[in-house]
Amino acid sequence: MKGWGGRQRGPRLIVIVNWRDSAHPEAGGAELYCEQVARRLAAEGKEVVFLTAHASGRRKERRDGYTVIRRGGRFTVYPWALLWLLVHRRQVVGVIDSQNGIPFFSPLAVPRRTPVVLLLHHIHQQQFSLYFRPPLAAVGRWLERTGSRWVYGRRAVAAVSVSTRWAARRELMLRGPIHVIPCGLNMPATLPMVERSMSPRIACVGRLVPHKRLDLLIEAMPEVLKRVPDVELHLVGEGPERARLHDLVTARGLVNRVQLHGWLDAHARDELLASAWLTVNPSMGEGWGLSVLEANAQGVPAVAFHVPGLRDSVRDGETGWLVKEESDLAHAVEDALRTLDDVATAREWAQRTRAWAARFTWDGTARMMAELLAAERDRLERRDPERRQSSDLITRVEIPLRTSKLSWTRAFRRTDVWSIDSGKLIVLLKSSDEESAARALRRAGVTELMLRDPSLRVSVARPSEILAPGSGTPACLAARPGGMAGRRAGHAS
Amino acid sequence: MRTPRAPAARSAVLRRPPVDLEIVIPALNEEGRIEATVAALSEHLVSSRWECTLVVVDNGSVDATIEVGDLADSRVPVETIGCSRPGKGAAVRRGVMTSRARWVGFCDADLATPPSTIDKAIALLEAGSRIVIASRRCAGGQYLVPQPLVRQVGGWLFRVLARDLTGPIADTQCGFKFFDGNVARQLFASSSIDGFAFDLEILALARTRGIEIVEVPVDWSDQSGSTLRLRDGVRALREVGRIRQSLSQTQAGEDVIR
């Protein structure tokens, strides 16, 4: 197998840098993402180092096959991480630089030809002022936008959702190719059949922080109660907003209807979710909305605002409801509960949400991340120019499995994504339009006659198709021979 | 930066079936405006006696442009295609080269020109004209809402530099031009400018081939939210130089053949 880089001595390390450890008391989606990817890359035999702040625990330890190194605190972790990378730069063969508002600027510490992927969950430009005073907030905004643009240049970016991809280009104006690599989901171990609660139950899981705006939901409850008198709301999670939310519940006289659980262990949380009718996420914007998917996995649809991240994870009318105006929240919740009142209808919704959640696996996420690192390595080593012009356009090609040939996969890149849906192979060709897609297919041996076949369809990928090209689990097209053969049956001769 | 000439759309598979009129709308991050534009154009076209199609060309948007294009309330067919080559010129070229329509035109996604101009243009094309362009500067045309000063100065500079390329045309840059389909495909096939100066090149090419260009006056209102930035303006001015160069090369080539 080809190595990750040139002439290094010692181990070949893939380094994942993130501000917090997954053991951190305030750990969220970003930490989970890094940990899941680290574990899977390690399982593939790669030497992985997870570099993070030192909040608690030992400064260095082995966990799930990879090494955790903890240095510095909330702000000092950044210089510490750079220093560590600089010292070990000869061994580092790939960096996943996870940005939580402030990136690590790892390209400053590693050689130019070392692959770096900037991992973006969501864009914080508007959130800095929510958490910091004006001068500090301005510094944060500058580092996230202008600073990143300078330091990362044309290096590859991984965004967890289509919204984040758009914002990375439009708000941060990053210049590298931006790939969508969604979060996975730990499918819960099959729970003993949990019955749906008798009274309409809403369950929300997440940290209690200002931008999640759970106060909007609590404020909407009196209105919902007017038409759904037996409704109950359960909030699972901890955070700085807890006291304020508690006071709000008391002030609105909702003590009997709203319960703040604090943190629950995974089992208790899933059990509560499985008994719920609905989850509501009133956040002003997320990277992706993992909690929505966790509820979906239990067959629970979601109500959310039409905001970045959530408009990707909630499919309006299919796995939940998207609300445009803040003032419509109470109405939307009421309508959703009335719809779900019918058991047969609720079962249909549950089936759809489960199928949707099942598309997102951490295996897929780790695979795509590994391919992106490999593609970056190829790009940095290769000197000849790219065939495809760099563009944000993605083209979707739909090929009936009965006519497709294994050799056609030569038309695709490592980072292209595929999925199988009712007898069709669906491929997303990155940085490509219909014209360049047809050229690539022709180069791979697709004849003009086959291109004329109406069942072979080439079109610009719609935003909703980027996340999940077909109904199957999206996966990366491994460039290695056999990468697809193992998973795909239909290659006609 | 020089980029190689765009390959013309050779694949017959990607060309659309023939209709009477196709209007190409190049769009880059136009989720806020494309819907109204498609609705207004379709509203106007539905009553015409010609079979019409609107073609939205997504030039690599990072917003919901293409989805909004799909959902727009249109009473005529709307096709959405992509163009990964950056530049308004490249996007329009893709739309024209994939068309089989008898007449083909293009207009801006902000629809600064009233749709009724289409009728005048089609009447002229039907009567035998081969290129009809909207003009804000010929007799009868006017700016209903004036452009910002920067645009005015830039526009003036552009016109001075471009004057001898197109001859007596008053306004080369209005985003509303209609062609005989075959003429358009020939002109765009030999064009190479991807940026905002592409229409100038098309008109200059038409002039060297002795094709007459008819101007129709329009009332034009400046729309805010234009994607044209200073950088693009500077690039457009540089493109004028490239047009001059490529035209003189073509000319020289033809002289040798003679």
- pLDDT, tens digit, 9 for 90 and up, residues B204-217: 999 889 999 999 88
Claim to verify: residue A228 and residue A341 sit in the same structural domain? yes
Compute the average pLDDT of residues B175-186.
Answer: 93
Q: Write out the two tokens for A109.
A: 């510490």
pLDDT at A317: 92
Confidence of residue B12 (pLDDT cuts 50, 70, 90): low
Q: Is the CB of residue B122 less than 8 Å away from at least one CB of chain A?
A: no
Relative to beta strand B219-221, strand B142-145 is parallel
Compute the average pLDDT of residues B48-77.
Answer: 89
pLDDT at B256: 52
Is the Cβ pair A460, B81 closer than 8 Å? Answer: yes
Q: What is the pLDDT of residues A277-336, one digit of tens each?
A: 999 999 988 888 889 999 999 999 999 999 989 999 999 999 999 999 888 999 999 999
- CB contact at 8 A, A37 and A96: yes
Of A388, A431, A438, the CB nearest to B11: A438
pLDDT at A475: 63
Fold observed for domain B15-257: Spore Coat Polysaccharide Biosynthesis Protein SpsA; Chain A (3.90.550)
Confidence of residue A16 (pLDDT cuts 50, 70, 90): very high
Q: Is the CB of residue B13 less than 8 Å away from at least one CB of chain A?
A: yes
Cβ burial, residue B252 (10 Å; 0-12/13-18/19+): exposed
Confidence of residue A29 (pLDDT cuts 50, 70, 90): confident
Compute the average pLDDT of residues A103-109.
Answer: 93
Is the Cβ pair A395, B86 closer than 8 Å? Answer: no
User: B59: nearest CA in chain A?
Assistant: A393
Claim to verify: residue A424 and residue A306 sit in the same structural domain? no
Claim to verify: residue A30 and residue A138 sit in the same structural domain? yes
Claim to verify: residue A242 and residue A334 sit in the same structural domain? yes
Tell me: pLDDT of A342 over 90: yes
Residue in A153, A12, A29 with CA at minimum distance from that of residue A99: A29
- Per-chain mean pLDDT for chain B: 83
Q: Write out the two tokens for A369.
A: 């991340």
CA–CA gap between residue B209 and residue B258 (Å, rounded) = 15
Full DSSP string of B62-91? SSSHHHHHHHS--SS-EEEEE--S-SHHHH
pLDDT at A58: 83
Domain boundaries, given as residue ranges, for chain B: 15-257
User: A452: nearest CA in chain B?
Assistant: B13
Let me know if residue A427 belongs to a domain.
yes
CA–CA gap between residue B110 and residue B89 (Å, rounded) = 16
Q: Which of residues 419-448 of A touch B (CB under 8 A)?
A: 431-436, 438-439, 442, 448
Q: In which residue are the tokens 């605190």 written?
A: A73
Compute the average pLDDT of residues B65-90.
Answer: 89
Is the Cβ pair A435, B94 closer than 8 Å? Answer: yes
Of A165, A433, A464, the CB nearest to B83: A433
Q: What is the dihedral angle through the alpha carbons of B9, A412, A487, A353, rounded to the nearest 10 degrees?
A: -70
SS3 A320: strand
pLDDT at A6: 47
The whole-angstrom distance between A377's CA and the closest CA on chain B is 24
Tell me: pLDDT of B185 over 50: yes
State CA A167 to chain mean position distance.
14
- CB contact at 8 A, A296 and A302: yes
Residue in A138, A57, A61, A56 with CA at minimum distance from that of residue A102: A138
CA–CA gap between residue A471 and residue B27 (Å, rounded) = 29
First to last CA, chain A: 29
Q: Which of residues 147-166 of A touch B (CB under 8 A)?
A: 165-166
Let me know if residue A5 belongs to a domain.
no
Is the Cβ pair B84, A448 closer than 8 Å? Answer: no
Q: Write out the two tokens for A444.
A: 């791979």
Q: What is the dihedral angle through the alpha carbons of A49, A54, A59, A61, rounded to the nearest 10 degrees?
A: -50
The percentage of residues in chain B with a pLDDT greater than 90, rounded to a whole number, is: 41
Compute the average pLDDT of residues A141-161.
Answer: 91
Confidence of residue A480 (pLDDT cuts 50, 70, 90): very low
Report field, pTM of the whole predicted structure over 0.90: no
Claim to verify: residue A207 and residue A172 sit in the same structural domain? no
Q: What is the pLDDT of residues A424-472, one digit of tens each?
A: 888 899 999 999 999 888 888 888 888 888 888 899 999 888 887 666 6
Claim to verify: residue A41 and residue A155 sit in the same structural domain? yes
Output A201 or A138, whichever has higher pLDDT.
A201
Let me know if residue A331 belongs to a domain.
yes
How many domains does chain A contain in total?
3
Tell me: pLDDT of A81 over 60: yes
Compute the average pLDDT of residues B61-85.
Answer: 88
SS3 A4: coil
- Per-chain mean pLDDT for chain A: 86
The percentage of residues in chain A with a pLDDT greater than 90, rounded to a whole number, is: 53
Compute the average pLDDT of residues B59-86.
Answer: 89
SS3 B164: helix
Residue in B23, B186, B205, B5 with CA at minimum distance from that of residue B97: B186
Tell me: pLDDT of A107 over 80: yes
The whole-angstrom distance between B182's CA and the closest CA on chain A is 20
Claim to verify: residue A233 and residue A104 sit in the same structural domain? no
pLDDT at A314: 95
Residue in B100, B58, B61, B62 with CA at minimum distance from that of residue B81: B58
Look up the CATH number of the domain holding residue A67: 3.40.50.2000
pLDDT at A95: 96
User: A395: nearest CA in chain B?
Assistant: B82
Claim to verify: residue A69 and residue A172 sit in the same structural domain? yes
The whole-angstrom distance between A454's CA and the closest CA on chain B is 9
Provide the domain limits for residue A460: 388-493
Claim to verify: residue A245 and residue A158 sit in the same structural domain? no
Lowest mean pLDDT among A46-55, A418-427, B175-184: A418-427
Domain boundary among A339, A358, A377: A358
Tell me: pLDDT of A405 over 50: yes
pLDDT at A2: 43
Is the Cβ pair A463, B86 closer than 8 Å? Answer: no
Confidence of residue B170 (pLDDT cuts 50, 70, 90): confident
Is the Cβ pair B14, A393 closer than 8 Å? Answer: no
Is the Cβ pair B83, A432 closer than 8 Å? Answer: no
Q: What is the pLDDT of residues B192-250, one digit of tens each?
A: 889 888 988 999 999 889 999 999 888 766 666 666 667 777 777 788 888 888 877 77
Of B11, B62, B67, the CB nearest to A392: B62
pLDDT at A67: 93
Q: What is the pLDDT of residues A350-394, one digit of tens each?
A: 999 998 998 888 988 999 999 999 989 988 887 655 566 689 999
pLDDT at A3: 46
Compute the average pLDDT of residues A245-250.
Answer: 95
SS3 A365: helix
Confidence of residue B95 (pLDDT cuts 50, 70, 90): very high
State CA B57 to chain mean position distance.
12
Output A33 or A475, whichever has higher pLDDT.
A33
Claim to verify: residue A402 and residue A473 sit in the same structural domain? yes
